[in-house]
A and B are shown apart, each in its own frame.
Chain A
Amino acid sequence: MSCWDTVADYAFRSIGYGERLLPRSDFTLCQQVTLIGSGMIWNLYFGLVALLSGFCLATALAVGKASRNPLWRKPSEAVIFVFRGSPLFIQVFFAYFLFLSLKGAYPGLGALTSAWAGAALVLFLNTAAYSAEIFYGALRAVPPGESEAADAYGLTGWTKFRRVTWPVLLRLAWPSYTNEAIFLFHATTLVFFSGFPALQQRGDALYYASYFADKTFNPFVPYPILAGYFILLTLAIIAVMGRVNARLNRHLPQAQRRGRPKLLTQILR
């Protein structure tokens, strides 16, 4: 069987297309690269869904935490504390068993016990909390001069936030937010190693890598392949976020634009 046949059979195995049975013996390098790559589809799915939806909630939480009204501030602080203060691993376990018992009471919520919905929900809340802390820090660092200038132009409320505060906040937060995005994608590997089952062996990249490591009892092939995929993904995220950063800072002279991601806030899980 040539490598192209393997790719045709297994490239979309993780989402249920192609060959049903996983290879059981005589594992080739091609099979390992293809299947682990196929698993990356799940990592991309979880990461993108959580990142895009989490961004919106994070902005709301950050504004809530900075609010003077305790009705807004207290709940925001609580969400941020719970999701940043406990390990994601435990959160995913807890959520899975919570969804299981909810399923018993309300069968309509059954979808939450499968990874595509339940794990995506947990990752969404988790990244929202971490990003909210970054945005909150940036919000407090918005120079008062910018705010005063907006006042002088007669901007108030929503218009002021959208035109002045929010763009400045994003500019300040972006290097840290890039890091958060990288580590969120890393965190997606936890899903199938905590509660959520991989139905019909449709798992993510780490699931297939550990499958091969278990079967061949040789960790030196599948894990470096996985590492290669993740390093490529990390480089891609840095490139995309760098483009966004350049666009956010397009009014600044070239020399001031450089903002390399720094490990400042606590972004790992």
Chain B
Amino acid sequence: MFSYCADPETLEGLAWLSCYLTTGKHLAFYQAFGTVLLLLAVTAPAALAFGFAGAVAARSRIAPLSWLGKGYIAVVRGVPDIAFFLFFVIALDQGIEWLRHKALCPDWDQPIRQGNDFVVCSAAKMPLGNAAQWVHDLYGFWLAVVTFAIVFGAFAANVLYGAMRAVPRAQLETAEAYGMAPRQVFRRILVPQMWVYALPGLSNTWMVLLKATPLLFLLGIQDIVYWARDLGGSKTPQFTDYPHGDWRVYYFGALLVFYLLCTKLSGIALDRLEGRIGHVDARIARAERRAGARQADAMGPQ
């Protein structure tokens, strides 16, 4: 990157390090941190959407829908998340190819599962065999986002389901007394009020999501864990201009520090948010206490 990096063998000390840390592979490594942050930025709202859908389904009066929602929450919480990551990547990929196969190649007569192979017609391949590399990368990233959203959606669903049940019943009854339809009660009273109760659980889910991002590595994406293993492994002079021993412990040490910084910053931000919303919460609690005291007065001395 720098002009003096032309002949690394003559370099010493800091100059060597500055050249070493700006090789093309290292720049890809730094870019991978951006991938992690991008994944978080896309996944968090997606997981929230899945969570909202799951919570609404679990509350539904229609029994099968409610079973579906509750089952979704229970299964994802009952099984190790890493198993889901390994499962969904293949399952989603095969599911999409199967659907495309059914739609695009209706006159294909051979079975799709042939022993240990999964065969679809070439037009149904996803992405297409002749697609550019970036299409493959994008598709892999998209699969990762959907997988993360499904798994963390279940955690968010659990939190939101609890929060919806925590909204005081009297609030909803008042809305009903004003003649609101169930749909209006849900949209105007329940949803705006539940966030106060959901926030601690949601910030918890955010921390969990943040700490699950290294699992991208298992989904076959060239993320920070991939590069740390690749760059840290010992290099001989035959293959690189910058030979060094096994430095993986330092690379993973750096990743550890990166995650500690992320959780520390998130912790500070979430504490502030909870502090601000906490005021509202305290006001509600005070109002409820006053209402309770009035009720006790009305009932007279016991």
A residues touching B (Cβ–Cβ < 8 Å)? 25, 81-82, 84-91, 93-94, 97-98, 100-101, 186-187, 189-190, 193, 206, 209-210, 213, 215-220, 223, 226-227, 230-231, 234, 263-266, 268-269
Contact = CB atoms under 8 A, between A and B. Distances in A.
A218 B90 CA distance: 8
Contacts of B232: 97
B255 to A, nearest CB: 5
Interface string B23-41: 0000000000000000000
Contact of B264 (A85, A100, A187): A85
A250 B152 CA distance: 37
A87 B201 contact: no
A157 B79 CA distance: 43
B233 to A, nearest CB: 10
B260 A219 contact: no
Contacts of A94: 249, 252-253, 255-256
B82 to A, nearest CB: 5
A82 B260 contact: yes
A25 B115 CA distance: 9
A263 B201 contact: yes
B87 A90 contact: no
A193 B218 contact: yes
Contacts of B82: 186, 189-190, 193, 206
B249 A230 contact: no
Contacts of B252: 90, 93-94, 97
B199 interface: no
Nearest to B88: A219
Contacts of B155: 263, 268
Contacts of A85: 259-260, 263-264, 267
A213 B116 contact: no
Contacts of B225: 89-90, 93
Please list the 7 inter-chain residue pairs (A to B) with the smallest Cβ-Cβ separation, ordered nearest first: A186-B80, A94-B252, A97-B249, A87-B211, A223-B87, A85-B263, A219-B90
From DSSP, what is the main secondary structure of chain B's interface residues? helix
Contacts of A215: 116
11 contacts: A84-B263, A85-B267, A87-B259, A94-B255, A97-B252, A189-B83, A213-B86, A216-B116, A218-B113, A234-B78, A268-B211
B249 A227 contact: no
Contacts of A89: 214-215, 217, 225
B159 A266 contact: no
Interface in B201-242: 201, 204, 207-208, 211-215, 217-218, 225, 228-229, 232
Contacts of B212: 87, 268
A269 B263 CA distance: 12
A45 to B, nearest CB: 16
B274 interface: no
Question: Interface on chain A toward B: helix, strand, loop, or mixed SS?
Answer: helix
Given A85-B264, A94-B253, A217-B116, A230 B201 contact: no
Contact of B207 (A91, A219, A266): A266
B117 interface: yes
A219 B266 CA distance: 35
Contact of A226 (B83, B113, B255): B83
Given A81-B260, A87-B213, A269-B208, 17 more contacts: A25-B116, A81-B264, A82-B260, A85-B259, A85-B263, A86-B256, A86-B260, A90-B259, A93-B255, A186-B79, A189-B82, A189-B83, A209-B86, A227-B78, A264-B200, A266-B204, A266-B207
A220 B83 contact: no
Contacts, number: 126
B214 A101 contact: no
B246 interface: yes
A223 B80 CA distance: 11
Nearest to B210: A87
B81 to A, nearest CB: 7
B75 interface: yes
A100 B158 contact: no
A84 B81 CA distance: 17
A234 B77 CA distance: 10
A93 B248 CA distance: 9
A230 B78 contact: yes
Contacts of A86: 211, 256, 259-260, 263
A89 B214 CA distance: 7
A149 B228 CA distance: 56
A98 B249 contact: yes
B118 interface: yes
A94 B250 CA distance: 8
B159 A100 contact: no
A101 B234 CA distance: 12
Contacts of A220: 91
A227 B252 CA distance: 30
B87 to A, nearest CB: 4
A190 B85 CA distance: 12
A230 B81 CA distance: 11
A184 to B, nearest CB: 11
B77 to A, nearest CB: 8
Contacts of A217: 90, 116-118
A100 B234 CA distance: 13
